[in-house]
Amino acid sequence: MIIKRYHNLYQITFLPHLFPINCFVVEQEADLICIDMGVSKFTDMVKEIVHQTGKPLNKLILTHAHGDHVNGTPYFKKVFPEVLVGISKRDSYLLKKDFRLQEDEPDKPVKGGFPKNIIPIDFTFESGEFIDSLEVISSPGHTPGAVSFFEPQHRMLIAGDAFQTRGGLAVSGVLKWQFPFPKIATWDRKTAVESAKKLLDLSPELLAVGHGNMLVKPEEQMKKAIKVAEGGRKK
Ligand SMILES: [Zn+2]
């Protein structure tokens, strides 16, 4: 486990060299908010950050319903029973094992690994809502209800698996041989490219993702990655 920091954002990484999975903590004025809980072990590190900052943890919000982003939630909830857990309304159905597509969605099967255990969810949210300091930006493609969180003060974008930085920056659905899992688990690449463009339009100063290191001033690399994804060639 490693903890890295950018302004008020902490990135905790599990298995940094083998199968890196990230969890984030955003330090707000009065309290902390946590993003993604892929493995139980993150909870101890989050506890450490709570201790270090002296601020209470308020919520855990999930970028999407894949197991590697939610599997640690039941244990987390045992340790932090008072903390509210939220996910997008759309992906909350996936957690209930309802994989039916909605009318306006591309007719492609939802992919990827979903949790075997019940994930305790206290609230759902939709695009455009603010959860404390973070704006919810719908960014489907990897899953139908995947979201990103944007912190406007430092222009930090926490994009879940809409992008990956492990193995070089790539839009979800583009194969990177060094880390092929996000591609394998992506529902609809075309939708993912549209979402990637929407995220680029936010002009983030920092891009943080589910798998790989944070990227400062990511715009040029995001543009390139989108071009590659639009080219349709596997790279
Ligand atoms: Zn993932």
Q: For residue 94, give its domain range.
A: 2-231
CA of 155 to the centre of ligand 1 (A): 22
CA of 63 to the centre of ligand 1 (A): 9
Looking at the 3D structure of the chain, how many domains does it have? 1
The CATH number of the domain where 211 resides is what? 3.60.15.10
CA of 211 to the centre of ligand 1 (A): 6
d(CA 151, CA 136): 9
d(CA 42, CA 47): 9
Average pLDDT of each block of 10 consecutive residues along the chain (235 residues)? 94 90 97 98 97 97 98 98 98 97 94 95 98 98 98 97 92 89 91 97 98 96 95 57
CA of 173 to the centre of ligand 1 (A): 12
d(CA 208, CA 225): 15
> Token pair 């486990």 is at which residue?
1
The DSSP letter of residue 101 is P
Tokens of 111: 């992919």
What SS3 class is residue 130? strand
CA of 161 to the centre of ligand 1 (A): 6
- Burial class of residue 227 in the structure, from the number of CB atoms within 10 Å of its CB (0-12 exposed, 13-18 middle, 19+ buried): exposed
Give the pairing type, strands 9-14 and 215-216: unpaired
User: Would you state the pLDDT for residue 232?
Assistant: 56
CA of 41 to the centre of ligand 1 (A): 16
Residue type, 160: G
Beta strands in the chain (DSSP E): 2-6, 9-14, 21-27, 32-35, 57-61, 84-88, 123-125, 130-131, 134-138, 147-151, 156-158, 163-164, 170-171, 206-208, 215-216
d(CA 45, CA 48): 5
d(CA 90, CA 97): 12
CA of 128 to the centre of ligand 1 (A): 23
CA of 34 to the centre of ligand 1 (A): 16
